[in-house]
Structure 1
Amino acid sequence: MCQIFAGQDPADYEPETRRLRLNGQSTSIRLERSFWQIVDEIAAAEGLSTPAFVSKLHSEVLELHGEARNFTSLLRCACIVRVRHTMAPIETIAAE
Structure 2
Amino acid sequence: MPKPILPVNFADQAPKARIVQYNKKRYSIRLEPVFWRALEAVAKDHELKVGKFIGKLETIYEGPNFSSFLRVFCMISAERNLASAEVDTHKDTLISIINASPSPAALIAQDMTIISSNNAFYSWLGENKHALEGTTLNKLFQIRTKGLLKDSLNDLLSLQINHIDARIIRMIPGKVITAQARMVRASLFNHKKQYLVIWIASAPRVAAPKSA
TM-score with structure 1 setting the length:
0.71
Output the CA distance in 2 between the equivalents of 1:27 and 1:7: 29
Shift >6 Å, 4+ stretches: none
Unaligned runs of 5+ in 1: 62-66, 89-96
Residue equivalent to 2:57: 57
Kindly indicate which of the two structures has a greater share of residues assigned to strand.
Answer: 2
TM-score with structure 2 setting the length:
0.35
Equivalent position amino acid for 2:3 in 1: C
- For this pair of structures, how many residues does the alignment match? 82
Quote the offset at 1:49 in angstroms: 0.1
Kindly indicate which of the two structures has a greater share of residues assigned to helix.
Answer: 1
Residue equivalent to 2:68: 73
- Retained in 2: the 8 A contact 1:12–1:34? no
Q: Deviations over 1:2-27 (max 9, x none)?
A: 352x2431255222211023663323
Q: Does 1:83 align with 2:84?
A: no
Aligned-residue sequence identity (percent) comes to 32
- Retained in 2: the 8 A contact 1:13–1:32? yes
Look up the SS of the partner of 1:2 in the other structure: coil
When the two chains are superposed, the root-mean-square deviation of aligned CA atoms in Å is: 2.2
Say which one has the larger Rg.
Answer: 2
Larger RCO: 1 or 2 (CA < 8 Å, sep 6+): 1
Unaligned runs of 5+ in 2: 84-212
Residue equivalent to 1:64: none
